[in-house]
Amino acid sequence: MKKTIIALLSVAAFASSCKDAGKGEGNVLLQTFETPLGAPPFERIRLADYKPAFEEGIRRHEEEIRAIAENADEPTFENTIAAYDRSGELLGRVSGIFFNLQSANTSEEMLALAMEISPMVTAHSDAARMNEKLFARVKALYDRRSELGLDSLEMRTLELYYRDFVRGGANLSKEDKAELAEINKELAGLSLRFGNNLLSETNAFALTVEREEDLAGLPEPLRMAAAAEAERRGLKGKWVFTTQSPSVFPFLQYADNRALREKIYKGYTARGNNGNANDNKEIVDRMVNLRLRKARLLGYETYAAYVTDANMAKTPEAVFGFLGRVWKPALEVAKRELAEMQAIADREGLGDKLKAWDWWYYAEKLRKEKYDLDENEMKPYLRLENVREGMFHVANQLYGVTLKRRTDVPVYYPGVEVYEVDDADGTLLGLLYMDYFTRESKGGGAWMTEFRSYTERDGKAEVPLVSLVYNISPAPEGEPVLLSWDNTETMFHEFGHALHGFFTRGKYRRIAGTIPRDMVELPSQVMENWASEPEVLRTYARHYETGEPMPDEMIAKIQESGHFNQGFATVEFIAAALLDMEWHSITAEGKFDVEAFEREFAGKYGLMEEIAPRYRTTYFSHIFDGGYAAGYYVYLWAEVLDADTFNAFKSSGDIFNRELAERFRKHVLAEGGYADAMEQYVKFRGETPSEEALLEKRGLK
For residues 75-102, average pLDDT: 97
Residue 506 burial (CB count, 10 A): 23
| The predicted structure's pLDDT at residue 25 | 63
Burial 598-621 (b: 16+ CB within 10 A, else e): beebbeebebbebbbbbbbbbbbb
| pLDDT(345) > 60 | yes
Query: DSSP states of 69-100 as a string?
Result: HT-SSPP-IIIIIIHHHH--HHHHHHHHHHHH
Q: Quote the pLDDT of residue 16.
A: 25
Is 681's pLDDT higher than 60? yes
One of 494, 521, 610, 639 is an active-site residue; which one?
A: 494
Single pTM value for the model:
0.91
The yes-or-no verdict on residue 1 having pLDDT over 90 is no
Look at residue 458 in the predicted model and tell me its pLDDT. Answer: 78
Reported confidence tier of residue 6, pLDDT bands at 50, 70, 90 = very low
In residues, how long is the chain? Answer: 701
Distance (Å, whole) CA 695 – CA 682: 21
Work out the average pLDDT over 347-371: 97
* pLDDT at residue 8, rounded to an integer: 30
Map residue 372 onto helix, strand or coil: coil
- For the stretch 478-489, pLDDT in tens is 999 999 999 999
Q: What share of the chain is helix, strand, coil (3-state, %, to 5)?
A: 60, 5, 35
Res. 622: pLDDT tops 60: yes
pLDDT band at 587 (very low <50, low <70, confident <90, very high): very high
Indicate the pLDDT class of residue 2, thresholds 50, 70 and 90.
low
Residue 515 pLDDT: 87
- Domains of the chain by range and CATH? 16-171 (1.10.1370.40), 205-269 (no CATH), 379-563 (1.10.1370.40)
Region 2-30 average pLDDT: 47
Specify the pLDDT at position 656. Answer: 98
Beta bridge partners of 239: 209
pLDDT of residue 18: 33
Question: Is 540's pLDDT higher than 70?
Answer: yes
Catalytic residue at 494?
Answer: yes
Q: Give me the phi and psi of 85, to 5 degrees please.
A: -60, -35
Closest CA to 500 of 666, 686, 685: 666
What average pLDDT does range 397-406 have in this prediction?
Answer: 98
H-helix or E-strand spanning residue 113: helix 108-129
pLDDT digits (tens, 9 = 90+) for 158-214: 999 999 999 999 999 999 999 999 999 999 999 999 999 999 999 999 999 999 999
Residue 256 has pLDDT above 70, yes or no: yes
Give percent of the chain with pLDDT exceeding 90: 92
Rounded mean pLDDT, 230-248: 96
In order, the DSSP letters of 247-313 are: HHHHHHHH---HHHHHHHHHHHHTTT-SSSTT--HHHHHHHHHHHHHHHHHTT-SSHHHHHHTTSSS
Q: What is the per-residue pLDDT for 310?
A: 94
